[in-house]
Structure 1
Amino acid sequence: MDRVELRVVDRGPGVPDEAKSRIFEPFQRYGDAPRGSGSGVGLGLAVARGFAEAIGGTLEAEDTPGGGLTMVLAVRTAPQRRREQPDASFAVTS
């Protein structure tokens, strides 16, 4: 089965290994802004992972080499359709 990956690379402070599984839970945020700052409620990654899984894909977090976090969205590619050759009896000629 062929898959395609989309990687979003961030060079920020990253996320410790023990927090990586929690960042995908609803209403979880990891140290990006003080509480009460009004900049989010912690649903984005939970929703994104839900969409990925709904289409048969995955969304995972990896460390970025040199620091930061890389989000990896992997989805199956569409099956290739065989091109049918036109039937000679229906071919248009000039």
Structure 2
Amino acid sequence: MFVRIVKMSFYSKNVSEFLAIFEEKKHFIRNFEGCKLLELYQDKVNPEIFFTYSYWENEQDLENYRNSKLFKSVWAKTKVLFNEKPEAWSVDKKVCLQ
């Protein structure tokens, strides 16, 4: 399993529109094959910055999502709201042993 972290920054006037899109589509994304978790976080200092954390069974599942109609429709609505280019990381989730 691995984690996809995406940092997004929006114009203040677009935050509520982004949240509406996320609320409308989160169920579909969470139920996409291979998606184990999807969470949204808002920065405590700058309320225009958000992070999504999604857990994926494998990288192909994420690629399948990124090539899906669902992703393309969500991304088309979301990318016009950004005030900066988003950043993304794919990281392996490690279990810490004591």
TM-score over 0.5 for the pair:
no
TM range (shorter): 0.3 to 0.5
Normalized against structure 1, the TM-score is what? 0.39
Larger Rg: 1
More helix by share: 2
> Larger relative CO (CA 8 A, sep 6+): 1 or 2?
2
More strand by share: 2
